[in-house]
Chains A and B, each alone.
Chain A
Amino acid sequence: MSVLKFLMNDVLSQPAVLIGVFALIGLLAQKKAITEIITGSLKATIGFLILGAGAGTLVGALNHFSVIFTEAFHITGVIPNNEAIVSIAQEVIGTETALIMVFGMLVNILLARLTPFKYIFLTGHHTMFMAAMLSAILVGAGFSGAPLVIIGSVVLGCVMVLFPAMAQPFMKQITGTDDVALGHFGTTGYVAAALVGKAIGNKEKSTEDMNFPKGLMFLRDTTIATGVTMLILFLISVLFAGPAFVEDQVSGGQNFIMFAIMQSLTFSAGVYVVLAGVRMIISEIVPAFKGFADRIVPDAKPALDCPVVFPFAPVAVIVGFISSFAAGIVGMFVLSAIGVTVIIPGVIPHFFTGAAAGVFGNATGGRRGATVGAFVNGLMITFLPVLLLPVLGALGYANTTFGDADFGIIGIIFGYILKLFM
């Protein structure tokens, strides 16, 4: 009994170890060589610990930013960043997240096998982010133990097939085949863009016939894009807050401009570390998931990360990003005029989801579809997080939150339903 107790209370309650055990099971099932099994399990465990280290790095910068932003503009500002919020979440709900992630994948395979929704959601980091958000909402609503894991896994498994199914009619139009699906939790934004494009655009006038500078492609580099945006945001904030406040109360005497530079780049360094951790985890978990899925649901369609659609309309990618980001800025001013929490537009969510929304909007409505469709996506990812914050429990006060549209949609619906019942 004491061995079992030790396993349950001391070993498996460590989310890093739990992830390692899942990786181990997956690698055994794939009949990998013994060295690969050992290194793979260790890598997944270490990846999880790296995640926590990254959180430690970026949280400090984020908290400093929040204090300065509040002093500068007398309003609370939140920067949506999936990596940041998930790394913070892991410190308190890591075990729940790991369990919901793995069992959610099993529910996905079951649904693909038993229902007409033949999708296998292969974007591992989004699965993990969604698992973290569902854990936060369930914990916030007072759930724990088996009910928490069961409800979370079922919801996760369902959204892993429902969102690809929603996007599929448009994916067929974009890629010209029915073999590939979209597995990305920004889907409601893309579908909205496609519907807007259909309503107001003309798909004959494609973005791809436009001459457009491609110089913005450096934004594909996440670390640089995050660093540059944070730098701009930090500099504006310290200038408005003034050197006296920054140097006396926040930086401990460091020059306010230097402080802004170092803190914004530190934040970017933290995100880089978190990404490295996430990469190590999903590299060990996803192949096993795919292996099981291939055997159990041979006719399944792989649902893939949003950049798969970028090559089909590279100009729409740029148009979509700019339009979505513009909506983020407009939305930010609207929110501050209303006087609620301000969602500060982040380059990463606007780049990836704005670009994909641009491609979807272009497929149904050409230039106008790409521009207006991506603008709608930008408004969605600005206003949805405001409504999401209250249902995230303790995580709602983290100065950062989930970025993409589906996190908002699912979080809000699920969170308020739970509130009705609890």
Chain B
Amino acid sequence: MLKILVVCGNGLGSSFLMEMNINKVLKEIGAKVDVDHCDLTSAKGYKANIIVGTKDITSQLVGYAEVLVELNNILDIADMKNKVIEALAKFE
């Protein structure tokens, strides 16, 4: 199964929120994908197909996943949905 990893500085608040929103989107589109969240340090040792995070986070994770999804605003669910669908399409 594909794995999405959501990352933020502490791996507690923001990434967890994004994970809940991503799960909602995945349910909507009927995709079965494993989603998890963690902090920046742990992300580098984690095997994920897609990493999601804000720009300041993803810029430090280049090369650690096949696809990086860069969000400008973690509250913008519509934007996140488009970007996640686009990222998933690369694995079809």
**A: which residues have CB within 8 A of B?**
122-126, 175, 177, 180, 214, 217-218, 220-224, 272, 275-276, 278-279, 282-283, 286-287, 290, 302, 304-308, 310-312, 314, 352
Nearest to B36 among chain A residues (CB) is A283
Report Cα–Cα, A214/B60, bound state, in Å: 12
Q: Is the interface of A mostly helix, strand, loop or mixed?
A: helix
How long is the Cα–Cα vector from A305 to B20 in the complex, in angstroms?
Answer: 14
What's the tally of chain B residues with a CB closer than 8 Å to chain A? 26
User: Do A275 and B16 have beta carbons less than 8 Å apart?
Assistant: no
Taking a contact as CB atoms under 8 Å apart, the answer to whether B60 and A279 are in contact is no
Chain B residue contacts of A126, Cβ below 8 A: 13
25 chain-A/chain-B pairs, Cβ below 8 angstroms? A123-B13, A124-B13, A125-B13, A126-B13, A175-B75, A217-B59, A217-B60, A221-B39, A222-B10, A224-B41, A272-B41, A275-B10, A275-B11, A276-B42, A279-B37, A279-B39, A282-B12, A283-B16, A305-B12, A307-B54, A308-B17, A308-B75, A311-B54, A311-B74, A312-B73
The reply to whether B39 and A223 contact each other, CB–CB distance below 8 Å, is yes
A226 to chain B, nearest CB (A): 10
Instruction: Note all chain A residues with C-beta closer than 8 A to B72.
Output: 311
In the complex, per-residue mask of B61-84: 1 if CB is within 8 Å of any chain A CB, else 0: 000000000001111000000000
Residue among B13, B38, B57 with most chain A CB within 10 A: B13
* A276 CB to nearest B CB, Å: 8
Task: Give the top 10 A-B pairs by smallest Cβ distance, nearest first.
Answer: A305-B13, A220-B9, A223-B41, A221-B40, A307-B14, A125-B12, A217-B56, A311-B73, A123-B13, A222-B10
Task: Give min CB distance, A128 to chain B, whole Å.
Answer: 10
Question: Does B8 make an interface contact (CB < 8 A)?
Answer: yes
